[in-house]
Amino acid sequence: MDGNKVLDMNKEEALELLKQMWAIRWFEDQVYDLLGQNKIKGASHLYAGEEAVAVGAMSVIQENDLITSTHRGHGHCYARGAVAARNEEEHQEHYNKMLAELCGRTTGYSAGRGGSMHIADVERGNLGATGIVGGNIPVATGAGLAQKMKGTGNVVLCFFGDGAANTGNFHESLNMAALWDLPVVYIIENNLYGMSVPIKNAAAKLSLADRGCAYGIEHAVVDGMDLLAVREAVRRAVDHARSGKGPYLLEAQTYRWYGHSRSDPRAYRTKDEEAEWKARDPIPNFSKLLVEQGVATQDEIDAIEQKVEKAIEQATDFALGSPMPPAEELENFVYAPFKWTQADVEREKELRELVRRGGAGTHTADYRQALQEAMREEMQRDERVFLMGEDIGLYGGAYGATKGLFQEFGGERVLDTPISEAGIAGVATGAAMAGMRPMVEIMYVDFTPLAMDQLANQAAKNRFMFGGKTTVPVVVRTEGGAGRSIAAHHSQSLEALWTHFPGIYVVMPSTPYDAKGLLKAAFRDDNPVMFIEHKMLYGVKGNIPDEDYIIPYGVADVKREGTDVTVITYSRMVHRSLEAAELLAKEGVSVEVIDLRTLKPLDMDTIAASVKKTGRVVGVTEAYPTNSFISEIAARIQEELFDWLDAPVIRVSAKDVPVPMAETLEDVDIPSAAVIADAIRRIL
């Protein structure tokens, strides 16, 4: 550190920053020891050596600004909480909760659910760390979008390593942030190595900040070992973002003392290299500067280190003395509390009968119009609701489901996005965590795997990993299924993929009434919802109540009552199953058809009641048979209702081949009413 630097702070502030750097160093050294003693389990990625970046950056942000962090996130979490702590008692509590979380204790910030790689202090504006490299970058971008939409004036700091700058998340996010002038400061902590591969073998240029040029983003490189340089660089970046000039990309060149994790022998680094960087250690260098400039004495410097050492010892005693989470609390925090009451369920039953009769109190609409009504009404009802996705604005969406909404609500609430599925999903996740209620459209369900990290690893898990202290109310509308001869990349039924992940609901409506009521419920729910429409249902007409209504999740609908066999299905196959039931009625066979409507949560009560009545079950799906959701239903029935069965559960599905393009092949691939009827006959 340059001894000629002039401090831009008083003695108290300077000593506080020194204390924060010492706190991170002592904390990380203690974590290293506890890992060696097996008192901290799992992986832990230490921040020692990089303290100047976190402390310098946090020292220039405001109380309501936000951050997102990375798997090497202890330093960010500590520094953000230290800035917010009002006294020594709160400082100590902060140490305690951090170390308790790493030890997997119930007194930790996330009640032991997240641990080291997912450390979060949500209540102080830390939206959390992620174990997925680059996984937090779209989340920060979404949080920035929320700040702009709400007009808060807040800024989001997004910390990530040099390795994350090579991911698609980085490029998709920076592009969106630049397009929308979002108040996000992206801070690359370039410590020269990913896990072991040096940056010279992983990136085209040493200066990662130059990548900002591609998106027209202001950018700079700063010495990440110099606290004052970081402080000044981040201040400029934050001022730029806060003033409405858009995002800023800052590369802090720094070095980690330890390896990627404790088991890393650092064979890829030389002793000379490590010695060279340790000579630039920000803690002794800043201490020396304070003494040389007469700001503090060496005794005062030493006293700070001793005080921090004692605080970390107290935190260790607290953490190791805290209880582990009780086994019976395993399932806590997976989902936000269920909002719908028994009164809602009863009212929906009444409305179901109303629309079947039609007439007064209802109107007729097709499936597409029902979706439009739901989105329009929820946007009118709640200003936090907004839509985003590819071609959903002026074009109205690939299947016209958002047609007219752009003209009514404008481009600020109906956002056309670049083709960036991962970015779209992650931005929605971050915006939801920051107080908005986004709905994103992923054009085809076949494209949702491109967004899997953001939806399955961030949106679906964040509430659980952060101890129930956050909600992620994001709705993902997409469409699937065959019928238009557009082949295997645009015709799949991938709902089983999404039912596999805890923390996300999966909805598949078959009628206009169901589509509107379930989508309105999705907007009002505090959990991520995967809302899958079928491309061949958009023109289906039906009655819809005139009144405002929702359909509670986890409530199946018996679309047709019967006594001989139960057909369990959803989406387009409801209609084909009803056709099969009509065919069999002519043969004297009474078929009950259950429309699940929501796959998660699943209404096993309605299934059980029907199985106990008929004793025979056929499950129908348009998906591939291997690991289909109907296979899950069959397993549940076998486990829970075996004694009521008079025959094996039969599955009717598509073939185990990619969906073909040729109409003759597509028709034989997807179950028809005749195929369903034949399956039913086999178990009579």
Three-class SS state of 177: helix
Rounded CA gap, 229 and 328, in Å? Answer: 50
Q: What is the 3-state secondary structure (H, E, C) of 77-113?
A: HHHHHHHHCCCHHHHHHHHHHHHHHHCCCCCCCCCCC
First-last CA distance in the chain: 84
Q: Are 18 and 290 in contact (CB under 8 A)?
A: yes
Contacts of 462 (CB under 8 A, 6+ apart): 128, 429, 433, 470, 472
Compute the CA torsion angle 52, 56, 58, 62 (nearest 10 deg). Answer: 180
Catalytic residue positions, numbered: 490
Q: What is the 3-state secondary structure (H, E, C) of 183-244?
A: CEEEEEEECCECCCCEHHHCCCCCCHHHHHHHHCCEEEEEECCCHHHHHHHHHHHHHHHHCC
Locate 673 and state its tokens: 């009413």
Q: What is the 3-state secondary structure (H, E, C) of 536-556?
A: CCCCCEEEEECCCCCCCCCCC
Contacts of 234 (CB under 8 A, 6+ apart): 56, 57, 60, 61, 157, 185, 187, 250
H or E element in which residue 488 lies: none
Rounded CA gap, 397 and 322, in Å? Answer: 53
Going by C-alpha positions, the residue among 403, 401, 406, 449 that lies closest to residue 425 is 449
Compute the CA torsion angle 438, 443, 448, 449 (nearest 10 deg). Answer: -140
DSSP 325: P
Rounded CA gap, 681 and 684, in Å? Answer: 5
HSE-CB at 32 with a 13 A cutoff on CA atoms is 17
